Amino acid sequence: MGWIIAGSIFVFILLLTLGRVKIIFDYKDDVIFKVKYMFLPLVTIPATKPKKQKPPKKEKKSKKKTEGEDEEEKSEDEKPEEKKPKKKISLADIFEILKLVLDSLGKPLKRILKRTIFAHLALRISVGGEDAAKTAIKFGLVNMAVGNALGWLDTAFTLKKPDDINITADFQSEETKIDCYCEISLVAAAAFAFLFTFIGRAIKYYFTHNRTRAAIRNLV
């Protein structure tokens, strides 16, 4: 019986770690931002909050203080507070801590970014403007910027084939309209692996660099 319970707990934890955290970004006039874990919604922006009724104001009762109480409060306020000397942090200490963070993030950050999947990307841009020549130049710049952005996403992350990329020039409109939809997902196990790897690398760096230990002691 005990083995069945232990096995059930292990399978349950395994399923939780294999679940995906999904971020949904939707922009059309307004920004809609949702975070889900498996099928459970975690965060929704903008969130609809019920209006709270303000409680009725209570009348404040005036309290009369005696002369003796006033003198005691004044004497307590007049007591000087003991100030502890603050430790000065030098630029060298900040530099050592930055080196610790950057060295610890290095490979784990690249791995977790590559395991982050961008899917169902849809981007529609209608470039408008009063002047036709300026609109045509803006249209070319937008095309170039979108192409570079997609190339960077494909290099740093895992980019699935976009559902729709449509960039047009509207010479009859004065406004540029943008519609964008994207789903970003990451397996929870990859997030835990990143966290533990980062902590392990930070601890190793801390104990192998004397100057970093001294810098953190000065900070604490």
Q: Is residue 60 part of a domain?
A: no
Q: Is residue 35 part of a domain?
A: yes
Q: List the beta bridge partners of residue 127.
A: 169
pLDDT of residue 209 exceeding 60, the answer is yes
Tokens of residue 5, six digits: 């319970």
In the chain, the number of structural domains is 1
Residue range 76-98: mean pLDDT, rounded: 70
Q: Is residue 73 part of a domain?
A: no
pLDDT of residue 89 exceeding 80, the answer is no
Q: Is residue 211 part of a domain?
A: yes
For 97, the domain range is 19-46+90-219
Instruction: Tell me what pLDDT residue 132 has.
Output: 87
Q: pLDDT of 163-180, one tens digit each?
A: 999 999 998 888 899 999
Q: DSSP letter at 105?
A: H
Cβ(162)–Cβ(122) under 8 Å? Answer: yes
Instruction: Tell me what pLDDT residue 214 has.
Output: 87
pLDDT of residue 70 exceeding 70, the answer is no
Q: What are the φ and ψ backbone dihedral angles of 117, each rounded to 5 degrees?
A: -105, 125
73 or 144: which carries more pLDDT confidence? 144
What are the b/e assignments for 7-31, b being 16+ CB within 10 Å? eeeeeeeeeeeebebbbbeeeeeee
Q: Is residue 6 part of a domain?
A: no
Cβ(20)–Cβ(186) under 8 Å? Answer: yes
Residue range 85-113: mean pLDDT, rounded: 86
Q: Is residue 84 part of a domain?
A: no
Tokens of residue 161, six digits: 């084939």
Instruction: Tell me what pLDDT residue 93 has.
Output: 85
Q: pLDDT of 128-167, one tens digit each?
A: 988 888 999 999 999 999 999 999 999 999 999 999 999 9
Look-up: residue for tokens 């009348």? Answer: 59
Tokens of residue 54, six digits: 């303000």
Q: pTM, whole model, 2 decimals?
A: 0.70
Q: Is residue 78 part of a domain?
A: no
